[in-house]
């Protein structure tokens, strides 16, 4: 067990160092068995946080993100968090004023993360395979850049299904009522 944890820590350190040394605008930490965002990432990447445009933390075991994560990487254009155990976002997600795409699919959201509706550059939201029932349709309709929202395989209430289509000017992907997500 300790050996496995040590290997995971070494893999994360190696990926962070590769990003810093190459000057890449992408930090790829998918499938690293992360339970939290390592504090070392903030220290190592703080000098280049404005240059990071994509962070992938997909398929880990994250239950939450810290406010420090949001404020440190406020220049992000894309954030990939699919396949974790997230159920909410910190209010500081509103600092991501340049964010164009966020993937929160296959998490544990019961409530739509309404802070996303305050992001002026946001074009794509993926919330597929969560437990969302209600959606702030009016707030989404007022988002200037929104082009697509994926809500497939969420137990959306009938009201959302009826109200949304005439109000929105973007693609809203929904599964047929009662549809179940495919097995993993």
Higher local confidence (pLDDT), 95 or 19: 95
Residue 175 CA to residue 157 CA, distance in Å, equals 12
Mean pLDDT of 123-130: 98
Mean pLDDT of 34-43: 81
54 closest CA partner among 34, 70, 74, 77: 77
Q: What percent of the chain has pLDDT over 70?
A: 92
Residue 89 has pLDDT above 80, yes or no: yes
Residue-by-residue DSSP string for 87-145: ----GGGGG-TT--EEE--SS--SS--GGGGG-TT--EEE--SS------HHHHHT-SS
Mean pLDDT of 24-44: 86
Query: How many CA atoms are closer than 13 Å to the CA of 106, on its beta-carbon side?
Result: 14
Higher local confidence (pLDDT), 69 or 41: 69
pTM exceeding the 0.85 threshold for the entire prediction: yes
124 closest CA partner among 67, 78, 182: 78
CB 90 within 8 A of CB 66: yes
């Amino acid at each position: 067990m300790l050996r496995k944890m040590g290997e995971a820590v070494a893999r994360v350190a190696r990926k962070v160092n590769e990003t810093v040394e190459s000057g890449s605008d992408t930090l790829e930490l998918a499938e690293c068995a992360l339970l939290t965002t390592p504090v070392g990432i903030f220290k190592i990447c703080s000098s280049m946080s404005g240059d990071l445009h994509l962070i992938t933390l997909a398929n880990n075991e994250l239950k939450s993100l810290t406010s420090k994560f949001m404020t440190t990487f406020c220049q992000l254009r894309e954030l990939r968090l699919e396949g974790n155990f997230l159920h909410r976002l910190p209010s500081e997600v509103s600092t991501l004023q340049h964010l164009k795409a966020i993937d929160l699919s296959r998490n544990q959201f019961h409530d739509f993360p309404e802070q996303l509706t305050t992001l002026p550059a946001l074009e794509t939201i993926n919330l597929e395979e969560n437990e969302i029932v209600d959606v702030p349709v009016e707030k989404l309709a007022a988002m200037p850049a929104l082009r697509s929202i994926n809500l497939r395989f969420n137990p959306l209430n009938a009201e959302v299904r009826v109200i949304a289509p005439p109000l929105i000017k973007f693609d809203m992907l929904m599964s047929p009522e009662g549809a179940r997500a495919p097995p993993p």
